[in-house]
Chains A and B, each alone.
Chain A
Amino acid sequence: MDPDIDALVRRVKSDRDAFATLYDRYYGRILTYCSRRLYSRSVGEDLTGDVFLAAATKIDSFRGQSEGEFSQWLYTIATNRINEYLRSFERRRALLDSAARSQRIGAAQTHNNVDHLDWPTVYEAILRLKPREQTLITLRYMQDLPHDQIAAITGLKPGNVRVMLSRAMEKLRTQFNVEISPPSKGALQ
């Protein structure tokens, strides 16, 4: 991590410009995280707004002194917001699932090779995992966060994060192997 950014983090409670700089630095990352977890940029933008507004009002409760801790804090807020959203909008989640699936049908008809996985296919496979596994995959492989930070964000132990990720990846691999060669009947429903 960058020591200059650590210095900004240490001032973030009292320095508006420091907070603004961190907003600029993290806006894209949080938007990407929310959008990829929810398969919708507009919902992702809404939640990104919630995350940063919460961060702004709760900044005095932030205890960290480094960028790593700030990043972890922000991702924790985002993860909680995403989970709240998914719990509150089960129906919407089903619609998103269905949207992914309909795009997947087109995709499956044109790509029968693992080298050509498309996003709807990946997303559909991820959606079939447990919600916690979905979060882990997104944080690790789409946000490049280290295991210990993911552990702190999700409240899991770092060793368990590693094992659960490995299990989730095995499940994905199985799904891709099945799905990529002629699309299964289930996938077309």
Chain B
Amino acid sequence: MTNPDPNQDLIDMIAKATPDTPINQDHRDRLRQQVLDAYDNRADADAPAARNPLFTFTGATLMKFAASIALLSVIAFFAVTALTPSKAIAFEDVARAVLAIDNASYVTQTVIYEEGQEPVTQDSYKVYLQFPQRFRVDLKMDQMDVVMIADVPADKMLMLNAQEKEAFLIDGLSSITDEEKPTNLIAEIQDHFRKAQQDKALGKVKYEQLGEKAINGQLAIGYRVIDPADTDFDTMDIWADAKTALPIQIVYTSTIDERNKVVNILDSFMYDQTFDASLFSLTAPQGYKLIKASDLIDGLDRTKEQLDQAINEFIGVEAPLLEDLALAMALYAGQTGKLPEQLISGPMIDTMVEAWEKANPGKPIFKDDDIEMADEQLNAAFESVLTAYEFLENLKQQGIEYTYAGSGIEIGDKDTPVFWYKPKGADTFKVIYADMTIREAASAPQKP
């Protein structure tokens, strides 16, 4: 449905006045060649590995992006060429020490820098690596308590949700392209150094010396690895033990844009441990309900979106529910007195703003920074409406029809149905009533 825009007349006038921008074919063709050359050259320059799409949430906000990084602190991307040699522990020593690692554990902390906000430090989580290519991430973020175990040679990944006592098994990683398979940070660094050694090019690795500092009482020598492709995304500071040359701390910065970045700090490294085999077990623990990705979606034909959705739902990062819709309706009614005429986010927001301004004459709707709403309740209502919209979109994507019958109704009556749908495979309908309770009904309610 199209949202009516009260400024349509003005929009039309602007459109009418806006000149066409004729294309200069010469410029377009010349630029095309330059751009394709740049594309080719970047491919020659040891391009960074793609992040695992399993953990790259579609349409990710910064927070979601941080979560994806947190789940796979394990992903790395860089390639290097040299600037300055070191004196004490040479960069080559660090590279050799890293290449010798065959198991390790470490703790990762993620800090999010968002424009206009105080930096946000996420909960830390622990990573266990057992080469070749087995790793485990114990992640605790907000309400999440998730363990991810990946065994690339076995072609499997298991995620455990401690709260829900659910285990989610993704098998058949081979259906995913090589560059998209889960990998881990140390393995990526090792791969790079190995290639560089093979090419006898280790001396050409690009890095900067960062000097010395004490980390937890240990003297560390720092090197900054620099991305040859000069992207905004990749810098990595490796602080190595001045005696063993093994990393004590790795600071890994992903720049979203000029204003926003995510910094991962990896420390508390422990090497040469004997891990209990159960740490990397791909069997669901006792008492856990096992959900197989292949049961949810066709293992061969599944798309990244389907996997993303399944994983998102599993870890609860982003799964709008019917309850979210009920909350949005309640918040809307709280602002305007009645339920919305239609469940369309734009007009709902417009009406709420109108009602708010009427109730708060002369009060600015935005804070000074023009980004945040001045009124927290209104802001919460906005957020809620958008989450509800997402819920409705998800229903549409699944081909589920729903009915809205709440137009102009006031909140309160427990027997007036205002919204209902039948979930896929269910025998009963889910119904929101005007008192905002959710109940099930054997048949579709009659419109009031």
Task: Give the chain A neighbours of B230 by CB distance below 8 A.
Answer: 57
Say yes or no: is B10 at the interface (Cβ < 8 Å to chain A): yes
The docked-state distance in angstroms from the alpha carbon of A133 to that of B77 is 36
Verify B31–A57 contact, CB threshold 8 A. Answer: no
Verify B77–A60 contact, CB threshold 8 A. Answer: yes
Verify B36–A16 contact, CB threshold 8 A. Answer: yes
Chain A interface, >50% SS class: helix
Binds A, one of B21-29, B162-170, B421-429: B21-29
Verify B260–A155 contact, CB threshold 8 A. Answer: yes
The docked-state distance in angstroms from the alpha carbon of A44 to that of B20 is 13
Verify A53–B21 contact, CB threshold 8 A. Answer: no
Count residues of A near B (Cβ-Cβ below 8 Å).
65
Asked, given contacts A52-B31, A60-B47, whether A117 binds B17 with beta carbons under 8 Å apart, the answer is yes
Verify A169–B10 contact, CB threshold 8 A. Answer: yes
The docked-state distance in angstroms from the alpha carbon of A23 to that of B18 is 24
Say yes or no: is A64 at the interface (Cβ < 8 Å to chain B): yes
Question: Within the complex, what minimum Cβ distance (angstroms) separates B182 from chain A?
Answer: 15
Say yes or no: is B296 at the interface (Cβ < 8 Å to chain A): no
Say yes or no: is A127 at the interface (Cβ < 8 Å to chain B): no
Asked, given contacts A35-B21, A64-B58, A76-B257, whether A117 binds B16 with beta carbons under 8 Å apart, the answer is yes
Question: Within the complex, what minimum Cβ distance (angstroms) separates A150 from chain B?
Answer: 13
> Using a CB-CB cutoff of 8 Å, which residues 123-165 of chain A contact chain B?
130, 132, 137, 141-142, 147-148, 152, 155-160, 162-164
The docked-state distance in angstroms from the alpha carbon of A23 to that of B37 is 13
Say yes or no: is B371 at the interface (Cβ < 8 Å to chain A): yes
The docked-state distance in angstroms from the alpha carbon of A69 to that of B59 is 7
Say yes or no: is A58 at the interface (Cβ < 8 Å to chain B): yes
The docked-state distance in angstroms from the alpha carbon of A164 to that of B374 is 13
Question: Within the complex, what minimum Cβ distance (angstroms) separates A60 from chain B?
Answer: 5
Say yes or no: is B376 at the interface (Cβ < 8 Å to chain A): no
Verify B386–A142 contact, CB threshold 8 A. Answer: no
Indicate the size class of the contact surface on chain B.
35 or more
Most central of B14, B16, B31, B42 by chain A CB within 10 Å: B14
- The proximity string for A residues 106-118 relative to B, scoring 1 for CB distances below 8 Å and 0 otherwise, is 0000000011011
Q: Which residue of B lies closest to A65 (CB)?
A: B304
The docked-state distance in angstroms from the alpha carbon of A48 to that of B15 is 22
Verify A159–B349 contact, CB threshold 8 A. Answer: yes
Binds B, one of A25-33, A88-96, A181-189: A25-33
Asked, given contacts A69-B58, A141-B11, whether A162 binds B34 with beta carbons under 8 Å apart, the answer is no
- Chain B interface (Cβ within 8 Å of chain A)? 6-7, 10-11, 13-19, 21, 23-24, 27-28, 31-32, 34-36, 38-42, 47-51, 53, 56, 58-60, 77, 115, 179, 229-234, 257-260, 304-305, 345-346, 349-350, 353, 365-366, 370-373, 382-383, 385-386
24 A-B contact pairs sorted by A residue (CB < 8 Å):
A16-B40, A23-B36, A57-B39, A57-B42, A58-B229, A58-B231, A59-B39, A60-B42, A60-B48, A60-B50, A61-B231, A63-B56, A65-B304, A66-B58, A118-B17, A121-B17, A155-B257, A155-B259, A155-B260, A158-B345, A159-B385, A160-B366, A160-B382, A169-B7
